[in-house]
Structure 1
Amino acid sequence: MRPAAAAPSRCAPADRVGRKPVLIGGVAVAVVGSVPAYVLAGHGSLLSTLGAEVLLVVPAALVGMPATIVAVELVLPRIRATSTALACNVAYAVFGGTAPLLGALLTERFGRPAPGAYITAVAAIALVVVIVALPETRGRAWSSPCRPNAMVSPQAFGLHEEASRSDGHH
């Protein structure tokens, strides 16, 4: 319930300044904060652990809602559910499913800050992708991802089929 209740406040900045700037900010925090978070966590005190958690949670909070909004806005309505579900679940399986093993291997081989360095590298790649390839979607009408200025026709929503069925035509 708390994430749902917090969603409006987490989405407001993306509505005010745009999705892309908020995503850039969140990913940039991940780039600069991940290694320090793992160094802090290694100190072993409650305060250092809480500081590490903040450094790791802030980027996730900044990126989570705007990324969800962008994922929905970039995909045509007729394939939106399937495409966003597929992308999300593959990413969770690949990155989330292997994270514990990869984190343990990196820590064993290179030391405590290594998982933070991995997060930094992945976030740096994501930052380049967001800056270079991600279009701003705030304020755009429902449009085709292939033609940003083209309005999606009623047929994309399946409305022509509904109208013909209600008239008795098939």
Structure 2
Amino acid sequence: MCVTNALAIQSDLLGELLFSGSGAGGAATALAVIGDLADIAKAHPGFQYRAVLGRPALALTPYKKTCIATHAGDYFIRLSVHDRAGVFAMVAKHMADHDISLESIVQRSFVEGQIGGTKTIILVTHETTETNIQQALAGIAKDSHLVARSQFIRIERMT
């Protein structure tokens, strides 16, 4: 039996989006959960077995925390700005000043044809550091063109 999982998202900027892909299905998922519960139930002191995480519990080591400022990756940035001449040039200058290369740019007005209102700028960056992003956004905020606080999300590539 072919099972498909789907996720629908409604966005004011992008409209309605639908993501779909193959799923395991009810029986396969239930069997995996029961297997994990059985592995956990078998655990008792001194007994080494292949745990849920693929290795004995005693072989697990604490993770090492890293500083997010040094995280390198791609970023999604959303800016709400005044619709004025030169605003995008200022945004681009701050990105360049902090060695941030842009993969894609979308600029959209909240109300079509309205001049002097507000505009949303969506940026997707190439790989850079969190520090670079935060410094660029701080510089953009100081220039007083923002209508609302800037937002950014780390993009994790799974390939």
Could you state the TM-score of these two structures normalised by the residue count of structure 1?
Answer: 0.20
More strand by share: 2
- Quick check: which has more Rg, 1 or 2? 2
More helix by share: 1
